[in-house]
Structure 1
Amino acid sequence: MTRVHNFNAGPAALPLAALERAQREMLDFEGTGMSIIEHSHRGKAFEGVHNEALGLLRELLAIPDDYHVLFLQGGASQQFAMVPMNLLPQGRSADYVLTGNWSEKAYEEAQRVGTVRVAATTAEGKRYTRVPRQDELQLDPNAAYVHMTTNNTLFGTQWHSYPDVGSVPLVADMSSDFLWRPIDVSKFALIYAGAQKNIGPSGVTVVIARKDLVAGGRKDIPKIFQYATFAENNSLYNTPPTFAIYLVRNVLAVTKELGGLAEIERRNREKASVLYGAIDAMADFYRAPVSKESRSTMNVVFRLPTEELEKQFIAEAAKKGMVGLAGHRLTGGVRVSLYNAVPLSSVQVLVDFMKEFAKRG
């Protein structure tokens, strides 16, 4: 079997070892005579997998004891609503920092729930080429929370240092760069991330939230949307996406075996350095439309001299086994997603192709 070079933006590449483990265990999980997919979410077999996944997350991120770790459904898009539903009481306002399409969607959804304001935006027309500086943030010291998106998949920008928001709770959508490096969880009141970029398949969303924040959340919303409901039930209030959580467990186990997040960060920085180095070295042909200080390590975007050349580049790359290179439909261009499971060897194949294509172009 030949594996392609998978640069998809999500669902994205998963570690081969995690997939091979799933393959081995598919028909008979740990001698139970059936797949993990067929096990009850209330049974001991799945409970062991579930708790192992939660424990691995706590270990890899050194999550403090005063934080809940939850597995939810609905993707980050559901969190756009759940965050304000839980954390934005009547009579209060929340601040939103706009740095791309997904932060815009989070802001729009929060407007349906309560009072929110834009604390900063780096929009240039319909594009974003950087994240804001600290001195550009116009923060309300009385805000219920500040919401940010740490990495912007469409526009290829990323926060490399997180903003200082004082004593206001900081909420972060980390869907597209979760677990790309170690972070200090205590700097955030709540983190959420769809699994389908770095830690698993689509269908499960990780939420890491301070326990006091969860306990103080609004109770006048449906129970199924209260963080407290899932915290009180170990994320097993209703039937969770069991196979997705199983695969998250597999990916986290591989991450630990590789040396943890410090090693993952080293690999990710090396991949990004190789690709950005190639783009900059051929700046007369490839152009990265992002300020250097805001360049994403996860989603590298660039343009070619013409849209026709971009289409030709993507088509020829696909014939050579490189998939997922088309930019988002709202932005065009080329996008290379370098999530954790993408190997350096795939980046080197792409760079070699870029050199050859530029010579012909």
Structure 2
Amino acid sequence: MHVAHLTLHDFRSYADLEVELGPGATAFVGRNGQGKTNLVEAVDYLSRLGSHRVATDAPLVRAGAERAVVRGAVVREGRTAVLEVEISPGRSNRARVNRSVLPRARDLLGLVRTVVFSPEDLTLVKGDPSDRRRFLDDLLVLRTPRLAGVRSDYDRVLKQRNTLLKTAGLARGGSRDSALSTLDVWDGHLARVGAELLGARLQLVDQLRPYVGKAYETVARGASRDDAWLDYAPSLDLEATGDPDRGTLTDALLEALQQRRGDELDRGISLVGPHRDELRLTLGSADSRLPVKGYASHGESWSFALALRLASYDLLRAEGDDPILVLDDVFAELDTERRQQLADLVSGAEQVLVTAAVDADVPQALAGVRFEVADGAVTRA
């Protein structure tokens, strides 16, 4: 899989841009602030309908414009499809495939896959639990696009339930009884949708774990594949459920919601569900594992973050797909040895897109097509 042509209209700093791409390694080189990251961000947006840099779409639209358009000609197994998304902050985005409008923008998901390495990846290790949950959910959607709908449904149910908890916590008499009765209904919705998301995450972590260990052994000096470990820590006790299916998880969530209802009414928020879970990252032998956050050195943290991305790539590739790899200004953050190790690991990908401030930051293993990015212009070197 690779992007053969990229077109941008009013996306970030670009009013209009056309760039011919191809398989193999392509590097965009330019000083900071010239727009090189905007190019790979656009490719990633076609994959995830989201940015690895910002949480909302508004910053993606060029100042003064109402909407932005990202269009890419994607080659997959010898066939070319033109994917397009129109980004309209505050309104529903629109997507097209070969000029045919899709019913929903999220129907574009899964048609192109990207794995992005960026300096922001350090938040996977040092950031909040929400950063690690987002990492899991983004990978879930890449593998199974319909889960984007499940995640959206869960967010909607959670928002409604939190509103009801605040109302019920303040109500008295008959109004409180009515609110609690309605809360029972929303408990069922949260448990049903949450169980599907929880089950998918549990399965993903089990499948990802060996790939993370292998990747960490490769990028960290003197490490073994047993040194890096990840566990999923749910907000409810699942030890008694054994190997839970969706029905078992639904029942467990319902029971936990009933047990925590008093606390939830007092605080006005939902305290049980996938939105409260954590992906635990640890280093060390089986009998002496320590959390990466707070204990690992800067180098170990970087190695773990890289291992998570490499593991994602390897897992997707093992399923028969070769995602587009985006290396966004990561080599400047790595020492020479880690830089070369990462380059050697990814050089065999069908398409690798690299951004760098100077030519010297791009390893020889990724010497391919070079573009110079300066003053809003992208010129093949």
TM range (shorter): under 0.3
- Relative to its length, the structure with more helix (as a share) is 2
- Relative to its length, the structure with more strand (as a share) is 2
Rg larger for: 2
When normalised by structure 1's length, the TM-score is: 0.23
